Amino acid sequence: MAQQQQKRQATEPEQDDRDTLSKGEIFEVLRNQRRRYVLQYLKQDSRPVELGDLAQQVAAWEYETTLEAVTPEQRKRVYTTLQQTHLPKMDQSGILVFDSDNGVIRATDRTKDLSIYLEIVPGHEFAWRELYLSLGAISCALVAALWLEIYPLTMLSNLGWTGVIAVTVTGTAIAHMYHERNMRLGYGDQPPELSYGRDD
């Protein structure tokens, strides 16, 4: 155990000196929902947390229930996979520090700085890129129609239509900013998936 701790202390400075994670590395680590839930928990409260408490909260989110209603089987299932798979992988990337001997997880500077935006689009909702593409296509069609002086579009002046387009794009951008803020891990009391629903 002492040798393991010495080895860990020797390698930690190298991790601290590494450049920030690439987008590919971030995706590889956080494409799993349970690992995203771990990050959500740590970004809400950066204090060291015991594995049992973390597993309890992750299980509550995963099964969409309260902490008190989590069954021992559900908690054990989450506890085991966190301990054996997810936390070691996140520790290796420097996103957190997992003391497997004591079962304690600590946030790092990388935990706090990491900002993950999840574009979760339910089946009844447009992706933002598709919405902007649609707005662009409509604007181009409107410009062409005005150039051809097609009635009844000519009832509003070119300046008036310019104002309509400007207000529409600006309003959409504001809505997008608000949506993006709420879709970031660590924002709010629960993960974005639970706030906006899953794309089943």
CB atoms within 10 A of CB 189: 8
DSSP at 155: G
Q: Is residue 54 part of a domain?
A: yes
Low-confidence ranges of the chain (pLDDT < 70): 1-21, 113-128, 179-200
Please give the model's pTM, rounded to 2 decimal places: 0.56
Predicted confidence (pLDDT) per residue in 161-192, tens digit: 888 888 888 888 888 777 666 656 555 566 65
For residue 177, the number of C-alpha atoms closer than 13 Å in the C-beta half-sphere is 6
What is the domain range of residue 56? 2-113
Asked whether residue 37 falls in the same domain as residue 84, the answer is yes
CB atoms within 10 A of CB 29: 21
Burial category of 193 from C-beta neighbours within 10 Å (exposed 0-12, middle 13-18, buried 19 and up): buried
Q: Is residue 81 part of a domain?
A: yes
Asked whether residue 6 falls in the same domain as residue 76, the answer is yes
pLDDT score recorded for residue 9: 46
What domain count does the chain have? 2
As a whole number of angstroms, the distance between CA 147 and CA 141 comes to 10
